[in-house]
Amino acid sequence: MSPNIEPIPFGACNCSTLRKASRHLSQLYDAALAPSGLKSTQAAIMMEVERRKDDPPTMHELAKALVLEQSTVGQNLRPLERDGLIALKQDAADRRRRHVTVTEAGRAKLAMVLPLWAGAQKRFEDFLGSKEAAELRATMLKVAYEFSPASEDDSG
Amino acid sequence: MSPNIEPIPFGACNCSTLRKASRHLSQLYDAALAPSGLKSTQAAIMMEVERRKDDPPTMHELAKALVLEQSTVGQNLRPLERDGLIALKQDAADRRRRHVTVTEAGRAKLAMVLPLWAGAQKRFEDFLGSKEAAELRATMLKVAYEFSPASEDDSG
DNA sequence: TATAAATAGAGGGATATCCATGTTTATGGA
DNA sequence: TCCATAAACATGGATATCCCTCTATTTATA
């Protein structure tokens, strides 16, 4: 007898559903950015770094901001550094830290990315509606930064 | 002169925001499923296959359902097949096609996954609210299956 | 029937992402 | 000062995911 898996509401899995949408949207944004040579994740990293250029973040800080593991940030920065789009500078006071900055070439690349990104962004909001998109982002940010079940469910 | 990237509403990027939430939620579901040895993506694949056991899907059909590229499905099935959780059977009529099924071992694994998944699902809905979660899934499905900008924006 | 076009998958190569572990550097206490 | 601890990052190994190209097979067409 195989365990008879009853009709399971797995179609209602919040995680799988979110991932499906994330994959699809990423494909479309990636396609839009393709002429620039950057992928959506790379653009997101560089935009975040550029935004903070007055106080260049460490890899750890970048990881927090991007909701990525520190090791993932390290991995993701590699091709960007290899291509000369970002630079890493050791902190003078704390030699463990490395601050990330966008290079001149990186800024030029971002200038190329911007209109492509804006186009994808517009097409998405034409589809979903600007108001709905804003609400969606608010929910996503809440999920990304505020959801941590451990705090309430570690008693047993 | 470096191009001076003006304050860009990139913080409002729908794609990046969705990915952040997707990463975070995936980490939490993965952590919940860890005792089973399956990751959330693997569970999603197996659940979809098991759900369709009366008419086992081909890899192409599976890709459509999961919003994945065909090549990705192939990659993702590999460890599951290696571990004996799913099986691939060539179609008798069309020898190009391969139908995917869950094995006995796979069903046993799913039985182990279910309560773990249900726990993660509950914790998320306790956080966001069941109603809000349902709305979110509806939006995600709409984005995943209905958004395709090419149809309206290929005139130039 | 012979062949062109389309379809299903496989394979290679790249980035994205995690976890677990190791290394270096700082920090705090005896 | 010396050592234990903690923090920041690097490394290795695995899966996830895409794109592009290739092969095998089927279907449509001349």
Average of per-residue pLDDT across A30-45? 97
DSSP H or E segment with residue A66: helix A59-66
B46 belongs to a structural domain: yes
Residue % of chain A over a pLDDT of 90 = 87
pLDDT value, residue A156: 28
B141 contacts A20? CB cut-off 8 A: yes
A141 contacts B20? CB cut-off 8 A: yes
Cβ atoms of residues B56 and B91 within 8 Å: no
Q: Which two tokens stand for residue B54?
A: 């009366």
Cβ atoms of residues A28 and A70 within 8 Å: no
Q: Which two tokens stand for residue B112?
A: 């182990």
CA of A93 to nearest chain B CA: how many angstroms apart? 29
Mind listing the pLDDT tens digit for each residue in A105-148?
999 999 999 999 999 999 999 999 999 999 999 999 999 999 98
How many domains does chain B fold into?
Answer: 1
B31 belongs to a structural domain: no
> How many alpha carbons lie under 13 Å from residue B44 in its C-beta half-sphere?
24
Q: Which two tokens stand for residue A43?
A: 């653009």
User: Which residue is nearest to the C1' sugar atom of C7, using CA?
Assistant: B96
User: Which residue is nearest to the C1' sugar atom of D9, using CA?
Assistant: A96
B75 belongs to a structural domain: yes
Cβ atoms of residues A86 and A106 within 8 Å: yes
How distant is C1' of C8 from CA of B58, in Å?
9
How far is it, in rounded angstroms, from Cα A16 to Cα B121? 11
A13 belongs to a structural domain: no
**CATH number of the domain to which B135 belongs:** 1.10.10.10
Q: Which domain holds residue A123?
A: 32-146
pLDDT value, residue A1: 55
- Cβ-Cβ contacts under 8 Å for B25 (sequence gap 6 or more): A14, A15, A18, A143, A147, B124
- Cβ-Cβ contacts under 8 Å for A143 (sequence gap 6 or more): B21, B24, B25, B128
B107 belongs to a structural domain: yes
- Phi, psi of A84, rounded to the nearest 5 degrees: 75, 20
Of residues A4, A77, A83, A73, the one with CA closest to residue A37? A83
How far is it, in rounded angstroms, from Cα B51 to Cα A6? 9
Please, what's the b/e burial string for B1-11 (b: 16 or more CB within 10 A of its CB; e: otherwise)?
A: eeeebeebebe
pLDDT value, residue B9: 79
A23 belongs to a structural domain: no
How far is it, in rounded angstroms, from Cα A33 to Cα A26? 10
A78 belongs to a structural domain: yes
pLDDT value, residue A148: 87
How distant is C1' of D28 from CA of B95, in Å?
18
How distant is C1' of C2 from CA of B59, in Å?
31
Mutate to test the interface with B, among A19, A70, A121, A141 (most CBs of B within 10 A): A19
CA of B107 to nearest chain A CA: how many angstroms apart? 6
pLDDT value, residue B149: 77
Identify the three-state secondary structure at position A89: strand
How distant is C1' of C24 from CA of A96, in Å?
7
- In this predicted structure, the answer to whether residue B150 has a pLDDT above a threshold of 80 is no
Query: Would you place residue A11 in the very low, low, confident or very high pLDDT band (cuts 50, 70, 90)?
Result: confident
How far is it, in rounded angstroms, from Cα B68 to Cα A20? 8
- Chain C: positions less than 7 Å from a protein CB are 7-21, 24-27
Cβ atoms of residues A133 and A121 within 8 Å: no
Q: Which of A2-16, A18-32, B112-126, B139-153 has the lowest mean pLDDT?
A: A2-16
A13 contacts B121? CB cut-off 8 A: yes
- In this predicted structure, the answer to whether residue B3 has a pLDDT above a threshold of 70 is no
- Chain D: positions less than 7 Å from a protein CB are 7-21, 24-27
CA of B17 to nearest chain A CA: how many angstroms apart? 6
